[in-house]
Amino acid sequence: DVKVTQSSRYLVKRTGEKVFLECVQDMDHENMFWYRQDPGLGLRLIYFSYDVKMKEKGDIPEGYSVSREKKERFSLILESASTNQTSMYLCASSFGRAENNEQFFGPGTRLTVL
């Protein structure tokens, strides 16, 4: 079974702090994704990566950056957290180059910025 793990289930940070969300997948997938999930807005793509050291912006990249130094790990970085970044963050991975391939999601990190 594919396993996607996220470093924390719950995280509380203060405005202005630098926040790291880590995601690890164990199936040698090429692609990794970061989404945020908000009530009434569904899942929105922040960034994705199709290879080590490669990254592409999604729908809402503002205020975020990412890092992929190893194939199995994809990090989401909030350089200076703000209250409007309070949300559920979901990491996912998928195999191959076809964008329609099944995505496997982690359990999510609920981030609260005070």
Binding-site ranges for another protein (CB under 8 A): 4, 31, 33, 35, 40-45, 48, 50, 56-59, 90-92, 99-100, 102-108
CB of 37 to another protein, least distance (A): 9
Which DSSP state fits 83?
G
CB of 59 to another protein, least distance (A): 8
CB of 16 to another protein, least distance (A): 29
Find out whether 4 and 92 touch, Cβ atoms under 8 Å: yes
Residue 17 to residues 6, 53, 73, Cα–Cα distance (Å): 20, 25, 22
From the centroid of its chain, how far is CA 31? Answer: 12
Nearer to another protein, 17 or 112 (CB): 112
